[in-house]
Amino acid sequence: MQAFLRRVAVVLGILCITLSTVVTAQPSYPEKPIRIIVPFPPGGSTDIFSRMLGEKLTQIWKQPVIIENKAGASGQIAINELLKSPADGYTIFMGHIGTLAVNPSLFKNLSYNPTKDFAPISRIAIVPNIFVINPNQPFKTIQELISYAHQNPGKLTYSSGGSGGAAHIAMEYFKLVTKTDILHIPYKGTAPAVMDLLGGQVSMTMTGAPPLMQHILAKKVIPFGVSSTKRIDVLPQIPTLAESGVPELKGFDATQWYGVVVKTGTSKEIIDKLNQGTRMAFDTLEAKERLRNEGAIVQVDSPEEFRAFIQAETIRWGKLVRSANIMVN
């Protein structure tokens, strides 16, 4: 009997050593460079936040994080790049309100389904839009702008970083509630949309604070209002649009948000590690102060919280798209 027990003990010992070796041999994520796919050109908020995340993850994990800007088709080119990649966590997509919540209602033949194709990691930031105009316009207040637009339907123009982007939806929301006719001029990214506003090729835009900050401070554009329900800490002198005194704008709220997703099928262990890395990158005093100076607010979630948020936003903005009859082929 004792001899049998000794044999069993030896066999169990061998199994334990074998299992330990297998566990030890499992690859530890990340073991190679990571890509962050950005659906817009350099210079906009999506690109700024992607580079912040990439820099921090490189420091934390000692692996290069490569930023790839793949602009066009309202984010679909970048998203298709993600969907062609393995579900292994080495390709990350920096999404935002347009690509993750608005596009499903905006496009008839969308090449992806945010609910089915993506595994959410976390939001990273909330960014109020700022409504700004080129200084050479024949109006100086929001009330005068609305009056001018009523008297000159289709004459005024606004730029956006692309159809379905935050500026597009925010301005269409503004047009809907104020009953104005302002022509949409889409660009391939926020940076060129802002540049043409500065050059006078378009009349106005309503986009995220980060790419507008320097131009507001230099008085190259005139800010008419902030799209969120609260003023921006770094620009407290700019009222919210809801404070403008225009009855139709009472309660106006068109805030951008940004977040990280990976391809569905990525393991929970990798998703949790990416969530942890994202928190380490943005949930710090340094990151909060940096975003504050850009007119943004840090917001990190669990993967489950982010999934629920995307679903709620998809419903909210879907109603607006249908009410405003916005459609892009």
Q: What average pLDDT score do residues 21-28 get? A: 52
What pLDDT is recorded for position 1? 55
Please provide the distance, in angstroms rounded to a whole number, between the alpha carbons at the two ends of the chain.
79
- Give the closest residue to 102 by CA, choosing from 24, 171, 154: 171
Residues in the chain: 329
Please tell me what DSSP assigns to residue 28.
P
Match domain 128-249 to its CATH number in 3.90.110.10, 3.40.190.10, 3.40.50.720, 3.40.50.1100. 3.40.190.10
- Give the closest residue to 249 by CA, choosing from 222, 216, 225: 225
Q: Name the pLDDT band for 21 (thresholds 50, 70, 90).
A: very low
The pLDDT of residue 22 is above 70: no
Report residue 120: phi and psi, to 5°: -65, 145
What pLDDT is recorded for position 324? 82
What pLDDT is recorded for position 16? 53
What pLDDT is recorded for position 91? 98
The pLDDT of residue 25 is above 50: no
What pLDDT is recorded for position 329? 55
List C-alpha distances in Å: 242 to 16, 73, 100, 206, 252.
66, 32, 26, 14, 5
Query: How many Å apart are CA 301 and CA 32, to the nearest integer?
Result: 26
**For 45-97, how does the pLDDT look when each residue is reduced to its tens digit (9 = 90+)?**
889 899 999 999 999 999 999 999 998 888 899 999 999 999 999 999 999 99
pTM: 0.81
| Residue 42 CB partners (closer than 8 Å, separation 6+) | 69, 191
What pLDDT is recorded for position 9? 52
Domain boundaries, the chain: 34-126+256-323, 128-249
Q: Name the pLDDT band for 323 (thresholds 50, 70, 90).
A: confident
Residue in the block written with tokens 């994990």: 61
Query: How many Å apart are CA 100 and CA 171, to the nearest integer?
Result: 18
Share of the chain above pLDDT 70, in %: 91
The pLDDT of residue 3 is above 70: no
Query: How many Å apart are CA 10 and CA 310, to the nearest integer?
Result: 54
Of 50-54, 202-206, 289-293, least confident by mean pLDDT is 289-293
H-helix or E-strand spanning residue 208: strand 204-208
Q: What average pLDDT score do residues 121-142 get? A: 95
What pLDDT is recorded for position 8? 46
List C-alpha distances in Å: 212 to 53, 131, 203, 226, 283.
21, 10, 15, 12, 24
| CATH code assigned to 34-126+256-323 | 3.40.190.150
List C-alpha distances in Å: 29 to 89, 92, 94, 124, 273.
8, 14, 19, 21, 8
The pLDDT of residue 12 is above 80: no
Decide if 34-126+256-323 and 128-249 have a common fold: yes
Average pLDDT over the chain, rounded to an integer? 90
